[in-house]
Amino acid sequence: MEPLTHSEENIMRILWELGEGVIHDIIEKLPEPKPPYTTVSSIVRLLEKKGFVDHKAYGKTHVYFPAIAREKYARRSFSDLMKHYFEGSPKKIVSFIMQENALQPEEVDELKQLIDSYYPPKPAQQWL
């Protein structure tokens, strides 16, 4: 799966939100200033060539829909982010988040609970 450009990713986010739609539906969801119809249509066709989008034809009207789930793309994007910017280390990602003050204290407690639910603490060994 090749990476998406910023414009392609914006269109994919809209299609994931809509589920399906025609080019006008996509344009309606884009922020101002709205790009021309032909620009959005070209991007959608590129996404289709890349395998991210498919369509159903109703006469001359094409209804586009995601061919790849958002979760699958997110998993791949996260994997690439982790590999290229954090040397594949979850510890480095968490350290970066902490250094950026991106976590509130209550979120730290929630993360600790989440980690404990996946990796319960081992019971203390008893000495005889």
11-62 pLDDT, tens digit each: 999 999 999 999 999 999 999 999 999 999 999 999 999 999 999 999 999 9
Q: How confident is the model at residue 97 (pLDDT cuts 50, 70, 90)?
A: confident
Q: Are residues 61 and 92 in the same domain?
A: no
So what's the pLDDT on residue 121?
75
So what's the pLDDT on residue 89?
93
So what's the pLDDT on residue 98?
85
So what's the pLDDT on residue 69?
96
* Residue 50: inside a domain: yes
Chain-centre distance for alpha carbon 27: 20
* Residue 51: inside a domain: yes
Q: How many domains does the chain have?
A: 2
Q: Are residues 92 and 60 in the same domain?
A: no
Q: Are residues 15 and 55 in the same domain?
A: yes
Range of the domain at 99: 88-119
Interatomic CA distance for residues 110 and 80, integer angstroms: 26
* Residue 124: inside a domain: no
